[in-house]
Structure 1
Amino acid sequence: MIPPGESRELPVTINFSREIINSQSADSLGLTLEFSYIRGSRQRRETVTIPLTRLGNNALQWDDDRKIAAYIHTSQDPLIMETSGSVLAGIPRDISDMFQGNIQRAAALFEWMRSREIVYRPDPITPYAGTSVIPEEIDFIQFARETILFRSGDCDDLSVLYASLLEAASISTAFITTPGHIFPALDSGISAEHESGYFADPGMVIRRDGKLWIPVETTILQEGFFRAWQKGAQQWRSTSAQGDADFFTTAESWRMYPPGHPPQTVLSRSIDPEDENGKGASFQEASFSQIRSYRDRQIERLISLRSLENPQNDRDYTRRGIIYARFGLNSRAGTDFREAMNRGESVEPLLHLARLASASGDSSTALEYLSEAVNLQPDNPRVQLALAAEHLLNGDLESARSAYTRLNVLDPRMAERFPLFTDSLQDGSAALRSAGNAASPGLRNYLDSYWSE
């Protein structure tokens, strides 16, 4: 009841028909409100029609930059899921295992976009640089499929496409806004605590909530992924230093602006099936060549920063070997670890050689190295942890539990950090064989972080 002389605001929920939702164009609609009330002792009824303009699905007002997340559709668009999956499936083992994190996959997806000759083209009517600073203006945002079809887009369109491909590959994304510009960033997959081991230049990544994010300038697609990364990092450094940059993740933005289903009119727009995967081997090889060059530059700089060009002792050889192993050059790493083993009596090279052998599937050699390490330092917690992990990988739960029990006595904190045994593993090796490393989060954590330690 509304007392005399007072007013109330009441929410009105409008349910649009599927036909209206799928419409791509602006429509003039009439909202008819019918309400009844009692005035005095008499029942009254009134009808009011309010004219509305329903904008197309591509329309967006930049009063909140996080709205762009609503255009990141992954599972709702089969083309994006299939494209992302097929590109990643084409990455060979030597590239995918090159180093920890998401850089290889991010580079491959970026190069796929470049292979389709998608170009940056500012919107002639509603450029982001103009509409983003005038919240009342209406911008036109392309869905990812549309940008693939049109082979062009402005900064927000290219950002939506790249972020969609990344999210479809289970790579978390974010957006960076600067005055008149927006571009994406991706989770590197490497934690901030391990930054110095993987990135020779700390200015190339953004540290947020324990993660390292890679900013990518998608408007220079034709210059390649690593140049786009460099340009994105430069823009972030200069604008954030002046307080002119904002950073928000797609995941947190989805809480406010969840992705809906793309209109059927968008999903029905077909892409030439012969061209869905770009130029095949040519684009893939260009991507892989860039990744190898990046790896070699990082290794060279990290070795130089640590003055390890000419190792002087077993510790130097071990440190350089770790850098090689971190970037997948296992043969070079093994050479350095063996040289370190010959020059000193530390168990560390033995543990590293065991990890390399295990990763290549040679468990018997791995156990030989670990046995030698046990003979040298039976009370070393790292030795017992490595031994427990290797036995667990082989499904030998009894030996693994024995080594892990010993570890728990020697270093309870290390054992707590890597809980190799869970309830699912108490019934024997069948649980490990059926669930793989997922049966032991502690084992997975140990393997994933080994070269980062």
Structure 2
Amino acid sequence: MKYFPFIGVFLILFISSTFSQDVEKATKRMTQPEVMVVIDEIVDGNFTGTRTIASSIENELLKEGFKVIDYTVFEMIRARELEQAEGNPEKAKEYENRFGAEIIILGYANAEYGGESEFYDVKQHKYTGQVDIKIIYTDTGELLGSVTASDRKFAQDKKGAVNSLFRSLANKVSKNVVSRIKERLKEEEQVKKIEIAVYGISPDRAIQIESELQQSIPSIKALKYKFFDTNVLVFDALIAGEEQFRKELVSYGKLKIVKLTSKRLTLSPPEKETEAKTTVGEAFLDITDFSVLPIFPSQYNFYAYNPIGQITIENSSKSEIRNVKVSVLIPDFMKMPSEIVVQTIKPNSKQQIPVPITLDISSLLKLSENLISQAQAKITYTVAGKVQERSLSKPVAIYNRNAISWRVPESICSFVTPSDEIVKEFARLVLGSVNLKDTELPRNILNAMVIYNAVRTYGIKYVSDPWKVSSNEILDNVYFPRELLYYRTGDCDDHAILLASLLESVGIRSAFILTSDHIFMMFDTGIPHKNAHLVSFNPYDYIIYDGNVWIPIETTLITEPFATAWKTGAEQYYKLGGVTKLTSDPKAGISLKSGNIYIIDIHKGWKNYPPVNVEALAKPQTKPDITLISSTTQNDIAQFKEIYKQTLNDIVKSLASKGDEVSMNKLARIFILFDKYDDAEKFISKFSGSITYNSLGNIYFLKNEPQKALDFYKKSTDIDPNDGGVYLNIGLLFYLNDDPETAKQFFELAISKFESPQKAYETLGIEDILRELGEVAGEKKDVSKKQVSKEELKKLIEEASRTSIQQTKKGKEYKKEEIFEKGQNVFVFGGRRGADPTQLQTVKSLLYWKF
């Protein structure tokens, strides 16, 4: 991806202004910078992951008022990865952008075992070690200094010796490291930032003046073009020694001092001095600053509701100025200026005005390269009946339509375009044309396989597109789905975006999985957590998100079979510390952290970064090969079944080989999932523990023999009276046999066994019960039974929770014998012969198992 600057005078001004230190960064470092500390601690050649020395340095930095970056932000980063920053400004700047670090402290601490020694008949283990530390500016890659220290320590055990050694090394280097940084910052404190404005010149003289000022006035340590407005050129400058600066300026003589304040110096050629003084003296309002962030075409919808920058207006008069119209225009990319009216600007004050802009998407989508345009800010106001205007132009980077900054990863959602006609036609064509005989697989998985194979067989070549740093942004280039179908080359993010768009277009929810340098995706199978066994018996083959089973897909393997991309995606997710169960949090925003990765919920992302209307872009000419898609999908289905069968067989063999009570009960549950109740009972009938009695209770519950179920549940509670889960099962048994009062009492007893109802809900899966237990079938085989629903069950459990809390506060203990006695003879003498059979399959996933 190339970077094409603005053509004209500003191109020369930007490129010719070379700095020993960037003005903004140098000024920022006059205050305490943000510091990142990565010290690898290695014992006998093995990386330990401990942070004894790093934490000591961080504590010392915090004492001195420095801002230290939280280690969890970069916990997977090793010192060897950061070494590339030294002497490499581009790499150093990338780390600054990724982690916000202005200074990186990196190093290695090595501890080597030196054998045993004996002191006063006590054996001691010796460790010798050394720490080597570098301090690097991320802005330039400059090495600020290095610190080393060595030591040896003894202890009665190896761990104690290592800990003592690292603590000693930490004490030796911590203050020294911080001292080095403070010394450098003190040197920079002598440098002052000032704005230099030169009136009455033309743009073609700008470079000449810039060069002359730096050569003729040594006190100017850095000079950077800021903006050009009408006939005034403005620079940001760093000067050393204010008095010396004035003397050198007077000696220079080619420009006259019109006005000098602590923050701004106004100059002009001698022949323009009178005009410049008049202009400066008449100004009531001035635009002292105008900042505009780089523009990403894909985010044009976001800019319509969020400021893209700000204008700072200063009222230098002694009077209040009212009704100031502020307008912003970027020619060629806005059809009309965006305007705001500021009601009042108080005397001798500054006011910051947010910059709203409404961009022209048709112009933005034409951009295939980056460019620099001019953002024009103007203020209009009236003083003493006279209309006054002040304008200012500022360069603004406008990136190509495919650019994205990974500093704002959620913006990738703008590229997911399920409503694009090309995307909809592609997905509908393949789903409508591919006829598969097998319909046993869950519908979402089957449809996802077809769409996956449509992309797989379309002939898209994988081309790597590395991150690039441009204008302080970590940039990547991604295609909109229709572009990828048109160009047929792309990398991991392009494939993830295309696959997500196609799935979303047919109603299959998708999400992105982001690592520090990679992106893949996952999709919702539509299968509730309770039925996860329909996907796999291996819980590390999928992710539970918002109660449903989601399958991760490694999109770099789009040319491989579906199972390969699936298994690799799952392996990567869990390798990076992803958790098995995720729940979206409205307060968490778009991204959800899981281990060392982030999940980006596309539907949430669209709220801030809606899909772009890309109908104006080129349409792909090639149609998907339906015959090829059909054959590859059929192979994937066969492979899916084989993997499923093999996983099941492996688990069954593993559990059977162990033969203990817990393993056999787990095995019985697997058979229960396939309605093989008698076989399940055979596996556990020889055991007599509370685990087995609960499982037998569940078996007879599902066989619709409530009295036997209750008998086994009671045996389980006689052995373990404090397991609330068994009482939950009994409550469900009575609930489905139309005895809500007894059910409620057992629910109360179940919840009373936990420290809080919340803990009970979490442990027993009551939330899943309330979510998953749907309405029973419309037609009932036994019309004498009462119609029940999830609303009724939810109400019953909530009432039981409140009652349990109240009784616990009163000090009441629930006596299970009394409750059992009330319900003991219901099934024998009450005329009930079982629950409504239509509900038993639903209840299967809600029962509690003691393992």
> Is the TM value for this pair above 0.5?
yes
Larger mean Cα displacement after TM superposition, 208-217 or 136-145: 208-217
CA distance in 1, matches of 2:502, 2:844: 29
Secondary structure at the aligned position of 1:167 is classed as helix
1:140 corresponds in structure 2 to 477
1:62 corresponds in structure 2 to 406
Secondary structure at the aligned position of 2:375 is classed as strand
Asked if structure 1 preserves the Cα contact closer than 8 Å seen for 2:672 and 2:680, the reply is no
Q: Is 1:285 matched up with 2:634?
A: yes
Counterpart of 1:210, as a letter, is G
1:108 corresponds in structure 2 to 450
Asked if structure 2 preserves the Cα contact closer than 8 Å seen for 1:95 and 1:104, the reply is no
Asked if structure 1 preserves the Cα contact closer than 8 Å seen for 2:434 and 2:629, the reply is no
Q: Is 1:270 matched up with 2:620?
A: yes
CA distance in 1, matches of 2:647, 2:472: 43
Report the CA distance shift for 1:41/1:35 in structure 2 as closer, same or farther (over 3 A): same
Equivalent in 339, 350, 363 of residue 7 of structure 1: 350
Report the CA distance shift for 1:8/1:172 in structure 2 as closer, same or farther (over 3 A): same
- Give how far 1:221 is off: 1.7
CA distance in 2, matches of 1:307, 1:89: 45
How many positions carry a matched residue from both structures? 367
CA distance in 2, matches of 1:117, 1:68: 24
CA distance in 1, matches of 2:647, 2:560: 20
Where in structure 2 are there 5+ consecutive unaligned residues?
Answer: 1-343, 579-593, 660-664, 682-695, 706-732, 739-772, 798-837, 847-851
Q: Is 1:167 matched up with 2:510?
A: no
Q: Is 1:244 matched up with 2:596?
A: yes
CA distance in 1, matches of 2:347, 2:392: 21
CA distance in 2, matches of 1:400, 1:89: 42
Asked if structure 2 preserves the Cα contact closer than 8 Å seen for 1:114 and 1:221, the reply is yes
- Give how far 1:289 is off: 2.2
Secondary structure at the aligned position of 1:240 is classed as coil
2:278 corresponds in structure 1 to none
Counterpart of 1:140, as a letter, is N
Equivalent in 402, 409, 413 of residue 793 of structure 2: 413
Percent identity at matched positions?
A: 23
Counterpart of 2:608, as a letter, is M
Counterpart of 2:400, as a letter, is G
- Give how far 1:20 is off: 0.9
Encode CA deviations 1:61-113: one digit per residue, 9 max, x unaligned: 121111111100001x12222222333345667644334x7333323322222
Equivalent in 158, 161, 174 of residue 495 of structure 2: 158
Counterpart of 2:425, as a letter, is E
- Give how far 1:317 is off: 11
Structure richer in helix, relative to its length: 1
- Give how far 1:56 is off: 2.4
Is the radius of gyration larger for structure 1 or structure 2? Answer: 2
CA distance in 1, matches of 2:487, 2:389: 52
Report the CA distance shift for 1:104/1:304 in structure 2 as closer, same or farther (over 3 A): farther
Counterpart of 2:519, as a letter, is I
2:427 corresponds in structure 1 to 84
Asked if structure 2 preserves the Cα contact closer than 8 Å seen for 1:317 and 1:337, the reply is no
Encode CA deviations 1:244-263: one digit per residue, 9 max, x unaligned: 32222111222221112125
CA distance in 1, matches of 2:672, 2:489: 43
User: In the TM superposition, what are the counterparts of 1:360-439 in structure 2 within 5 Å?
Assistant: 389=776, 392=778, 402-405=784-787, 413=793
Asked if structure 2 preserves the Cα contact closer than 8 Å seen for 1:111 and 1:286, the reply is no
Equivalent in 290, 300, 309 of residue 649 of structure 2: 300
Asked if structure 2 preserves the Cα contact closer than 8 Å seen for 1:194 and 1:452, the reply is yes
Secondary structure at the aligned position of 2:352 is classed as coil
1:118 corresponds in structure 2 to 460
Encode CA deviations 1:10-52: one digit per residue, 9 max, x unaligned: 2233333354143132455443333212346643123333343
Larger mean Cα displacement after TM superposition, 20-29 or 144-153: 20-29
2:377 corresponds in structure 1 to 33
CA distance in 2, matches of 1:82, 1:39: 60
Counterpart of 1:50, as a letter, is K
Encode CA deviations 1:208-247: one digit per residue, 9 max, x unaligned: 4433332211101222221112211222222237953222
Encode CA deviations 1:283-340: one digit per residue, 9 max, x unaligned: 33223222332332344345445649x9xxxx9999566545xxxxxxxx7xx57989
Secondary structure at the aligned position of 1:44 is classed as strand
Larger relative contact order, structure 1 or 2 (CA cutoff 8 Å, min sep 6): 1
CA distance in 2, matches of 1:114, 1:446: 42
CA distance in 2, matches of 1:139, 1:189: 32
- Give how far 1:204 is off: 2.1
Asked if structure 2 preserves the Cα contact closer than 8 Å seen for 1:144 and 1:160, the reply is yes
Structure richer in strand, relative to its length: 2
CA distance in 2, matches of 1:302, 1:102: 26
Asked if structure 2 preserves the Cα contact closer than 8 Å seen for 1:63 and 1:135, the reply is no
Counterpart of 2:448, as a letter, is A
Asked if structure 2 preserves the Cα contact closer than 8 Å seen for 1:118 and 1:151, the reply is yes
Asked if structure 1 preserves the Cα contact closer than 8 Å seen for 2:542 and 2:549, the reply is yes
Counterpart of 2:429, as a letter, is S
- Give how far 1:202 is off: 1.8
Report the CA distance shift for 1:340/1:16 in structure 2 as closer, same or farther (over 3 A): closer
Report the CA distance shift for 1:121/1:249 in structure 2 as closer, same or farther (over 3 A): same
CA distance in 1, matches of 2:642, 2:429: 24
- Give how far 1:184 is off: 0.8
CA distance in 2, matches of 1:93, 1:383: 42
Counterpart of 1:300, as a letter, is N
Secondary structure at the aligned position of 2:611 is classed as coil
Normalised by the length of structure 1, the TM-score is 0.66
Where in structure 1 are there 5+ consecutive unaligned residues?
Answer: 325-332, 352-378, 418-444
Q: Is 1:229 matched up with 2:566?
A: yes
Report the CA distance shift for 1:106/1:261 in structure 2 as closer, same or farther (over 3 A): same
**Following TM superposition, where does structure 1 have runs of at least 4 consecutive aligned residues deviating by more than 6 angstroms?**
315-318, 337-341, 414-417, 445-448
Q: Is 1:22 matched up with 2:365?
A: yes
Larger mean Cα displacement after TM superposition, 81-90 or 216-225: 81-90
CA distance in 1, matches of 2:454, 2:564: 15
CA distance in 1, matches of 2:401, 2:556: 23
Counterpart of 2:457, as a letter, is S
Larger mean Cα displacement after TM superposition, 4-13 or 223-232: 4-13
Report the CA distance shift for 1:193/1:134 in structure 2 as closer, same or farther (over 3 A): farther
Secondary structure at the aligned position of 1:68 is classed as helix
- Give how far 1:153 is off: 1.0
User: In the TM superposition, what are the counterparts of 1:326-337 in structure 2 within 5 Å?
Assistant: none
CA RMSD, aligned part only? 4.4
Report the CA distance shift for 1:389/1:138 in structure 2 as closer, same or farther (over 3 A): closer
